[in-house]
């Protein structure tokens, strides 16, 4: 019996027990579906983040609190123990080929829009230079100006989404309450970039993970310092004049900040490549973990195939005896049952692939999470499913091949 004939017999056997075959394939279907879906989400987010970082260009550098190389992840930069100061910003601006440096501070305050209840959006305090460094556009009104910082003015910019949600009509000139003081809205921000990542208009998944300027309020950092009587700079964004100047500039920045911090390296300087590397490492570990969990379904599916194939061998004992009496060898019988278990798992894998395509489209469209199904994920998951079917089908196939033809013919 050749392979095509074996495949035809396998499909006939599967079709003869449709419901049982479907239930048998369920573990493989769930396993393949889970693996492809989870990997596609990971690949989509990685691809989205890479595009976001690339949109900054190679000129941008970020300084964060905490030494990542020593095992810190910079989490303290969001807390009160941030080590970054305004003097660090001034020192950075003195470095050759630095075009501009802007400190970023998270302001712990609710916002009360006109005639609305207070709520907690992202409130960022910075300088007028941030708009240039991050290519932030203002569609209505104006940017922060140096005099706003000099005068510690109670003025504020509002993100595009916040502007449409929090105000009736144009927000320019309207007042909001921040830190128990009134601020006048002077501009509406329109940008495709978040302060540490980015996203397209169509897919803003990263805005759920990173502070999004579309939904943020931005005030002068001197005003925040005046009201709070403290500064907690969690990030310093730096723009170099050229991409070529970045490597030497990064080393100079490390040197000047070390001098400011009296030789204590309690900060990290990250280029766009560093951000990508950190994100890839993190998501690589996360993806491996979730895929490992999902792969358990494939093993369960393989056990299900083995059990059903054992039942099938018992049910078809007489058939095996007739085939052996007509000249079929043990190898022929072994091959037929292996093909049958392989086809069973292949069909399950194919159904899992179709489900993953449908579900990832729904996730992207309705949940705003980017997904990317790669050829590697498809080949790997389907290949593994077929391999699982063959491996777990080996014992039933071997049992069938070893049956004595005389005993098999007598089986009732």
Residues 259 and 120 both lie in one domain: yes
Q: How far apart are CA 368 and CA 362, in angstroms?
A: 9
Residue 153 forms part of a structural domain: yes
Write down the pTM of the prediction. Answer: 0.59
Pairing of strands 181-190, 122-126: unpaired
**Which range has the worst mean pLDDT, 44-48, 253-257, 355-359?**
44-48
Residues 114 and 220 both lie in one domain: yes
Domain carrying residue 388: 3-51+281-410
Residue 144 forms part of a structural domain: yes
Residues 187 and 330 both lie in one domain: no
Calculate the alpha carbon distances from 403 to 317, 323, 325, 341, 397 in Å.
Answer: 8, 11, 12, 18, 10
Q: How far apart are CA 22 and CA 26, in angstroms?
A: 6
Calculate the alpha carbon distances from 34 to 29, 145, 158, 284, 312 in Å.
Answer: 8, 51, 41, 17, 28
112 φ/ψ sector (left φ>0, alpha ψ -120 to 50, else beta): beta
Residue 337 forms part of a structural domain: yes
Residue 66 forms part of a structural domain: no
* Distance from the Cα of residue 11 to its chain's centroid: 39
Mean pLDDT confidence for 354-359 = 93
Residue 79 forms part of a structural domain: no
Which run of H or E residues covers position 153? none
Residues 402 and 293 both lie in one domain: yes
Residue 56 forms part of a structural domain: no
Residues 101 and 243 both lie in one domain: yes
Calculate the alpha carbon distances from 120 to 111, 179, 204, 228 in Å.
Answer: 6, 12, 19, 17
Which run of H or E residues covers position 334? helix 330-362
Last residue of a domain, which of 263, 296, 319?
A: 263
Residue 57 forms part of a structural domain: no
- Of the candidates 205, 229, 195, the one whose C-alpha atom is nearest the C-alpha of residue 124 is 195
Mean pLDDT confidence for 76-95 = 78
pLDDT confidence of 156, banded at 50, 70, 90? very high
> 3-state class of 38 per DSSP?
helix
**Residue with the two structure tokens 């900060």:** 267
Residues 170 and 32 both lie in one domain: no
* CB 123 within 8 Å of CB 111: yes
- Of the candidates 272, 207, 215, the one whose C-alpha atom is nearest the C-alpha of residue 56 is 272
Q: What is the DSSP letter of 240?
A: E
Residues 253 and 212 both lie in one domain: yes
Residues 296 and 258 both lie in one domain: no
Q: What is the pLDDT of residue 224?
A: 95
Residues 131 and 171 both lie in one domain: yes
**Residues near 7 by beta carbon (within 8 Å), at least 6 away in sequence:** 339, 343
Last residue of a domain, which of 229, 263, 297?
A: 263
Residue 69 forms part of a structural domain: no
Residue-averaged pLDDT of the chain: 83
Residues 259 and 285 both lie in one domain: no
Residues 119 and 195 both lie in one domain: yes
* CB 192 within 8 Å of CB 199: yes
- Of the candidates 240, 221, 252, the one whose C-alpha atom is nearest the C-alpha of residue 59 is 240
Residues 95 and 222 both lie in one domain: yes
Q: What is the pLDDT of residue 58?
A: 65
Last residue of a domain, which of 263, 292, 322?
A: 263
Percent of the chain, pLDDT > 90? 34
- Our count of domains for the chain comes to 2
411 φ/ψ sector (left φ>0, alpha ψ -120 to 50, else beta): beta
Q: What is the pLDDT of residue 202?
A: 32
């Amino acid at each position: 019996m050749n392979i095509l004939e074996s495949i035809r017999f396998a499909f006939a056997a599967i079709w003869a027990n449709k419901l049982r075959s479907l239930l048998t394939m369920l573990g493989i279907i769930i396993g393949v579906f889970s693996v492809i879906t989870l990997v596609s989400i990971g690949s989509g987010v990685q691809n989205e983040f890479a595009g976001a970082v690339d949109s900054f260009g190679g000129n941008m550098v970020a300084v964060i609190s905490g030494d990542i190389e020593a095992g810190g992840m910079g989490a303290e930069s969001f807390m009160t123990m941030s080590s970054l100061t305004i003097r660090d910003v001034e020192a950075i601006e003195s470095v050759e080929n630095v075009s501009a440096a802007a400190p970023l501070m998270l302001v712990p305050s609710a916002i009360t829009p006109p005639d609305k209840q207070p709520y907690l959006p992202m409130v960022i305090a910075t300088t007028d230079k941030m708009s240039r460094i991050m290519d932030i556009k203002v569609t209505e009104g104006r940017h922060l100006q140096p005099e706003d910082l000099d005068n510690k003015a109670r003025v504020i910019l509002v993100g595009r989404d916040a502007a449409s949600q929090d105000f009736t009509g144009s927000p320019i000139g309207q007042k909001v309450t921040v830190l128990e003081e009134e601020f006048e809205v002077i501009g509406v921000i329109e940008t495709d970039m978040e302060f540490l990542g980015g996203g397209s208009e169509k897919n803003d998944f990263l805005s759920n993970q990173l502070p999004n300027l579309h939904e943020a309020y931005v005030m002068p950092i001197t005003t925040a310092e005046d009201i709070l009587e403290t500064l907690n700079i969690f990030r310093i964004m730096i723009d170099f004049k050229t991409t070529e100047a970045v490597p030497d500039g990064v080393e100079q920045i490390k040197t000047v900040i070390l001098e400011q911090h009296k030789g204590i390296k309690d900060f990290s300087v990250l280029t766009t490549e560093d951000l990508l590397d950190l994100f890839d490492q993190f998501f690589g570990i996360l993806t491996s973990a979730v895929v490992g969990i999902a792969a358990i379904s494939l093993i369960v599916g393989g056990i299900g195939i083995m059990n059903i194939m054992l039942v099938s061998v018992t049910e078809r004992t007489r058939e095996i005896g007739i085939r052996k009496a007509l000249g079929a060898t043990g190898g022929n019988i072994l091959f037929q049952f292996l093909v049958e278990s392989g086809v069973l798992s292949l069909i399950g894998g194919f159904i899992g692939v179709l489900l993953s395509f449908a579900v990832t489209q729904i996730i992207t469209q309705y949940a705003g999470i980017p997904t990317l199904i790669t050829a590697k994920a498809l080949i790997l998951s389907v290949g593994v499913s077929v391999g699982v079917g063959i491996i777990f089908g080996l014992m039933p196939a071997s049992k069938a091949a070893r049956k004595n033809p005389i005993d098999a013919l007598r089986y009732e």
